[in-house]
Amino acid sequence: KILSFTRWQHLNISTGNYVRLEKLSSWTTNPNKHRENKNHRTSFCTRVGEYSKAVLDLLAFAKEGAKVIATDINESKLQELGKYPGIQIRVLDVTKKEQIENLAKEIEKTDVLCNIAGFVHHGTILECEEQDWDFTMNLNVRSMYLMIKTFLPKMLKQKSGNIINMSSVASSIKGVVNRCAYSSSKAAVIGLTKAVAADFIEQGIRCNCVCPGTVDTPSLRERIQARPNPEQVRKQFISLVTCIYV
């Protein structure tokens, strides 16, 4: 028997910024189901080269014993990750369906799919041209649709799997100035996450959405000088894979 429920949670981090998790998943009568040894898990993460937080998340997965497959469109930025034990690197454009399907054929099993790829457009709706809107939606939302649709059948065959989508507090949670296209795309990510979770909750699939506030990334450092510590966010990110219910 599987009990399904929706749960919201706020996490305060040391800087006063926060992360909010949109949760819709399952609590099974078999608590050991989601406590299996992480050494046997394969984690697949998209577009990690651009983000220091994503890199640290990957290292945390690898440190826990998981086999990690890290992807990015920029091969040069992936090379640094290749030296770490437990991490394999692949060049991938997550907006290209054919590339995703070809890579999926190489991967026999996927326990965790982390959709991290994203783009931040700055400006109001009046400053957002059609090409800006289309690019943002293509990378921030359509890429997740393509990744989930490709890898979900593998998880269903395994009767287990964890999907973690990266959203933001700048979404349906909170209005943020000069983030029209970005916030719209991240609100769509929340909707996509809840839909997938609801559809496959009784088939062993957990789909969760991480909605962080400001975290320390190269993109952030280009815009502001503040440097929030993302350690708590990273710990929660990893816990989504290992806890009984999230």
Per-residue pLDDT in tens (0 to 9) along the chain, 246 residues: 232 333 333 332 222 233 333 333 333 333 344 444 445 566 667 655 554 555 556 666 667 777 888 888 988 878 877 787 888 889 999 999 999 999 999 998 899 999 988 999 999 999 999 999 999 999 999 999 999 999 999 999 999 999 999 999 999 998 999 999 999 999 999 999 999 999 999 999 999 998 887 555 555 554 444 445 555 555 655 555 554 333
For residue 170, give the DSSP letter: B
Q: What is the CATH number of domain 2-242?
A: 3.40.50.720
| Cα–Cα–Cα angle for 166, 11, 138, rounded to 5 degrees | 15
Task: Tell which residue, 165, 158, 223, 209, has the closest CA to residue 23.
Answer: 209
d(CA 92, CA 19): 28
- The pTM of this model reads 0.72
Question: Can you name the residues that pair with 20 across neighbouring β-strands?
Answer: 10, 211
Q: Enumerate residues 6+ apart whose C-beta is below 8 A from 158.
A: 109, 111, 204
Strand, helix or coil at 3?
strand
pLDDT value, residue 102:
97
The pLDDT, as a whole number, for residue 214 is 58
Q: For this structure, is 182 an active site residue?
A: yes
**pLDDT at residue 31, rounded to an integer:** 35
Predicted confidence at residue 210, as pLDDT, reads 86
Please name the residue that has the structure tokens 């800006």.
132
- Can you give the pLDDT at residue 1? 27
Active-site residue, from 51, 145, 182, 245 = 182
Q: Where are the beta strands (DSSP E) in the chain?
A: 2-12, 18-28, 42-45, 67-72, 87-91, 112-115, 161-166, 205-212
